[in-house]
Structure 1
Amino acid sequence: MPLPDNNVPWPPPQLARLYGELRLDAAWYSGDRKRLAEVYRGQQHREDGRRRLWARPRHRPDDKRDGRVHIPLAGDIATTSADLLFSEPPTFTVDTTGTQDRLSELAEADGIANTLLEAAEVAAALGGVYLRATWDTSLAPRPLLTAVHADAAVPDFRWGQLAAVTFWRELASDAGTVWRHLERHEPGRVLHGLYQGGRDRLGTRVPLTEHPEVAALTDSLGPEGDAIETGIAELTAAYVPNIKPNRRHRGSPFGRSDYAAPLYDLMDGLDETWSSWLRDIRLARARLIVPDAYLRDHGPGRGASFDDDREIWQSLNIPPTENAGITLSQFAIRVAEHQATTDSIVQQAVRSAGYSAQNFGLGDQGAAVTATEVTARERRSMITRDKKSRYWGPALSHILFVMLRLDRALFTPGLVPERPRITFGDSVSEDPTSTAQTLSLLQQAQAVSTDTKVRWLHPDWDDTAVQAEVDRILTETGQAVPDPMQAGALSRHQEGREPA
């Protein structure tokens, strides 16, 4: 399928509803009050926004002090999802030693673990993310892995599988023109197009040389003038759904955001509660109500004031029958009510998103606990993590295999590409004290070897590093003794009776 025709609506009309929902998810994820207000006052969410806190106008347009408060719970949920999946980097393994070494080199040099953290956070917010394999020989002698957000892609699915995808981005533009770069990934090739249009129209396709940000791509284009041949048959992109099904688009291949209903209502209610709480604090500031006679006159046209720091006051000419005096006005702050409401909303919100309240600091008593106890308390989060990891596994394995094939075609001719096996890291790190106690008890019971202890303590080490550490431990502790079967030969050699 070629790139889009000139002057078509953009984004495509068939994705208008999805993109509208992505804008709402992105606004909550950003934590930007202005973006929230713009989305809920927009046409698509206007009916729903009438009762939203962020759709309400200010009491006075010129009032710079806005009493509304935003709590970034949406960002916390997305970050928690990413931490559960990739706070401990996953392990990629293949059978061929040379391929394993090259894969480890790519993962380390490319910072793939960091890319996956970013991608997982975006996927939790927007319902999915795209992984893209690309290369730039002027930048690095290896394939590169990048994450593309769901609101910057137009996918083509076939039987629920990604068959092709068009990534797009807006380039530096002037007030009247919008420049867009479209990058379409198909099996075996990547097409590039530059369009000059408006806010809701793609506009006219022009040569890539018309904009400096994409002009360098012309050197890599093939005979057709718009495509780069990848040299492999696989698609150089993969889609990772956050979790399925998508309740708003049942039967669609798109993933579901962690913010899907009812989190919009709960997050709006949380902001409403905090706004009310802060309003109580503002209103509860102590104020003095004084009679006019207590004010000091500054002269005609200069008004009057009351100095609450003054220690000595002269007698005031007030009729003895008047009972007017200084009155202290200070309202109560409903701390307990607001705190209880806030905690209840947060607990319900994170539960609806599939997580345990302990992941957000609720119910944490501060006492030291073991990893087993943490896993028990956070069981709901662990279940959600396991479900999401099953969506990540196939896509991640595919894109790493594509990177290895690109690496053989472009940089390492002798490489033998294999589809990697993905092992997700443990999201709950064992406390060092607990680990030491466990190993000590196992050693006392003579139920563990030195090799096993080293591998337990350093699961990321290879066999060579483990053996070197075992040898050092045995030497330092005096456990490294020669083979008894060679003791006689060693003695004769030391006496000079037998050549070495």
Structure 2
Amino acid sequence: MPLPDNNAPWPPPHLAKTLAEIRIDDAWYSGDQAKLTAAYRTESTRRDGTARLWGRRRAPQPGKRDTRLHIPLAGDIATTSADLLFSEPPTFTVTDRATQDRLDELTDADGIANTLLESAEIAAALGGVYLRVTWDHTLVGRPLLTTVHADAAVPEFSFGLLRAVTFWHELASDGATVLRHLERHEPGRILHALYQGTADNLGRRVPLTEHPAVAPLAEALGPDGESIETGIDLLTAAYVRNIGPNRKHRGSPLGRSDYAAPLYDLFDALDTTWTSWIRDIRLARARLIIPDAYLRDHGPGRGASFDDDREIWQLLNIPPTEQGGITLSQFAIRVEEHERSAEAATRQAVRSAGYSAQTFGIGDQVAATATEVKARERKSMTTRGKKTRYYSPPLGDMLHVMLLLDQRMFTPGITPERPRTVFGDTVAEDAATLAQTLSLFQQAQAVSVDTKVRMIHPEWDEAAVQAEVGRILTETGQAVPDPMQAGALV
């Protein structure tokens, strides 16, 4: 499928429902009150939004700010998801030594661990994220792994696999005219085009030289004037599903956001509870109700005031009636009720998102071993395990593409292969517990020296493991060959 024709509606109409749902996810993820208000006042959400805290229309009051309060639990969930996956960087291994050294150099220099951490947070919020491999000879001498958000892509799937994808972003907009750059990834090539249109129409195609951000691409285009050949037969982009299936669209290849229903209701309930709590605090401020006669007159046209810090007052000529004194007005703050409601909403929200309450600091926080932590946070660990299985295949594909492009453009001496990915432990086992475990395995004669070294040092490569095994066997005398096996029996 080629690049879109002139004057095509944009974004494509078949993505309208998906993008509308992503817009709601994005509003909660951002924590921006203006975004939340705008998201729940659109035509598609008006019926649902009017019942929500952020969808209610309020008459503007001069000099007064919006007293609604937003608790950024949605952002916390996305961040926690990313931390569970990539707080400890994964390790990537290949069999060839030279290729391994180059892969280590690429992942370190490119900051791939940070790229993955950020991509996982976006995937949790929007339901998925795209990993893209690109390069710029004028910038650095290596391929680059980048991310593209799910609301800036038009994917094409076949049997659940990404066949091609078109990314877009707005380069300039003056309200009436929008300049968009489209970048289409197909196996073996990347197509580029610049369109000048409106907010909902792609408009007409214009030369890439019309905008300085994409003008350098014009020189790299092939004979067809619109594509760059990659020299490999693989797609230079991959889609990472956050988790599946997509409950709102069964059979869809797109992933499911961590905010999938009923979390919108719980987020709204949490904001409503905190808004009510803060309103109680605001209304409970102590106020004095005094008769007019207690006010000090400052003269004609200058008003009157009451000094509540004054210690001595002269007698006032006021009839001693029961209504003539100072009245203190101070309401009760329903702290316990609000706190319990807020915690209940938070617990249910994180549980519906697939995590344990303890992961978010809810409940007793006492010292525990790594084994106890994993048992207490089993639900979070299960969700993490599922997400790693969704992340591993596309990540391995893109690292393979990086090595292939690196060999072709920068480092011809390597032998590209698809790396093996090992995700780091979220909770590291303490040394004492690990030593006790290994000791029990040793007593049962159920573990080898090689396995013990790998358990203690999971980050070591094969050469380092074998070197350590050799040293241990030599020091313990186990490296001496069995004399009974020294020669063949006659």
Shared fold per TM-score greater than 0.5: yes
Say whether the 8 Å CA contact 1:455–1:461 is kept in structure 2. yes
Task: Find the aligned partners of 1:394 and 1:484 in 2 and give their Cα distance.
Answer: 43
What amino acid sits opposite 1:429 in the alignment?
A
Task: Find the aligned partners of 1:388 and 1:205 in 2 and give their Cα distance.
Answer: 40
Q: Where does residue 497 of structure 1 map in the other structure?
A: none
Q: Where does residue 409 of structure 1 map in the other structure?
A: 408
Say whether the 8 Å CA contact 1:58–1:66 is kept in structure 2. no
SS in 2 for 1:6: coil
Q: Where does residue 383 of structure 1 map in the other structure?
A: 382
Task: State how 1:397-476 maps to structure 2 within 5 Å.
Answer: 397-431=396-430, 434=433, 456-462=455-461
SS in 2 for 1:430: coil
Distance 1:431 1:162, change over 3 A: same
Task: Find the aligned partners of 1:398 and 1:202 in 2 and give their Cα distance.
Answer: 32
Q: TM-score, normalised by structure 2?
A: 0.92
Q: Where does residue 105 of structure 1 map in the other structure?
A: 105
Task: Find the aligned partners of 1:26 and 1:42 in 2 and give their Cα distance.
Answer: 14
Task: Find the aligned partners of 2:480 and 2:457 in 1 and give their Cα distance.
Answer: 31
Task: Find the aligned partners of 2:449 and 2:310 in 1 and give their Cα distance.
Answer: 78
Task: Find the aligned partners of 1:107 and 1:350 in 2 and give their Cα distance.
Answer: 32
The answer to whether the aligner puts 1:259 opposite 2:259 as a matched pair is: yes
What amino acid sits opposite 1:286 in the alignment?
A
Deviation at 1:304, TM superposition (A): 1.1
Task: Find the aligned partners of 2:318 and 2:52 in 1 and give their Cα distance.
Answer: 52
What amino acid sits opposite 1:403 in the alignment?
M
The answer to whether the aligner puts 1:62 opposite 2:56 as a matched pair is: no
Q: Where does residue 118 of structure 1 map in the other structure?
A: 118
What amino acid sits opposite 2:46 in the alignment?
R
Distance 1:432 1:290, change over 3 A: farther
SS in 2 for 1:277: helix
Deviation at 1:341, TM superposition (A): 0.3
Distance 1:394 1:440, change over 3 A: closer
Task: Find the aligned partners of 1:269 and 1:325 in 2 and give their Cα distance.
Answer: 42
Task: State how 1:364-379 maps to structure 2 within 5 Å.
Answer: 365-379=364-378
The answer to whether the aligner puts 1:343 opposite 2:314 as a matched pair is: no
Task: Find the aligned partners of 2:274 and 2:377 in 1 and give their Cα distance.
Answer: 27
Q: Describe the superposition over 1:474-498 as per-residue Cα deviations: whole angstroms up to 9, x where unpaired.
A: 99xxx799x999xxxxxxxxxxxxx
Task: Find the aligned partners of 1:79 and 1:366 in 2 and give their Cα distance.
Answer: 20
SS in 2 for 1:203: strand
The answer to whether the aligner puts 1:237 opposite 2:237 as a matched pair is: yes
Task: Find the aligned partners of 2:294 and 2:472 in 1 and give their Cα distance.
Answer: 85
Deviation at 1:318, TM superposition (A): 1.0
Deviation at 1:444, TM superposition (A): 11
SS in 1 for 2:201: coil
What amino acid sits opposite 1:415 in the alignment?
I
Task: Find the aligned partners of 1:296 and 1:474 in 2 and give their Cα distance.
Answer: 95
Gaps of at least 5 residues in structure 2 are: 482-490
Q: Describe the superposition over 1:210-253 as per-residue Cα deviations: whole angstroms up to 9, x where unpaired.
A: 01110011121111111000000001110111111111111111
Q: Which moved more, 1:321-330 or 1:174-183?
A: 321-330
Across the two proteins, how many residue pairs are aligned to each other? 481
SS in 2 for 1:45: helix
What amino acid sits opposite 1:203 in the alignment?
G
What amino acid sits opposite 1:58 in the alignment?
R
What amino acid sits opposite 2:204 in the alignment?
T
Q: Where does residue 84 of structure 1 map in the other structure?
A: 84
Distance 1:294 1:435, change over 3 A: farther
Distance 1:8 1:63, change over 3 A: farther
Deviation at 1:176, TM superposition (A): 2.6
Distance 1:244 1:466, change over 3 A: closer
Identity over aligned pairs, percent: 71
Task: Find the aligned partners of 1:64 and 1:395 in 2 and give their Cα distance.
Answer: 50
What amino acid sits opposite 1:310 in the alignment?
R
Q: Where does residue 487 of structure 2 map in the other structure?
A: none
Task: Find the aligned partners of 1:19 and 1:308 in 2 and give their Cα distance.
Answer: 57
Distance 1:79 1:444, change over 3 A: same
Deviation at 1:403, TM superposition (A): 1.1
Say whether the 8 Å CA contact 1:179–1:194 is kept in structure 2. yes
Task: State how 1:3-402 maps to structure 2 within 5 Å.
Answer: 3-363=3-363, 365-402=364-401
What amino acid sits opposite 2:263 in the alignment?
L
Deviation at 1:431, TM superposition (A): 3.9
Gaps of at least 5 residues in structure 1 are: 486-500
Q: TM-score, normalised by structure 1?
A: 0.90
SS in 2 for 1:359: helix
Deviation at 1:187, TM superposition (A): 0.5
What amino acid sits opposite 1:426 in the alignment?
D
Task: Find the aligned partners of 1:180 and 1:392 in 2 and give their Cα distance.
Answer: 30
What amino acid sits opposite 1:372 in the alignment?
T
Distance 1:446 1:313, change over 3 A: farther
SS in 1 for 2:172: coil
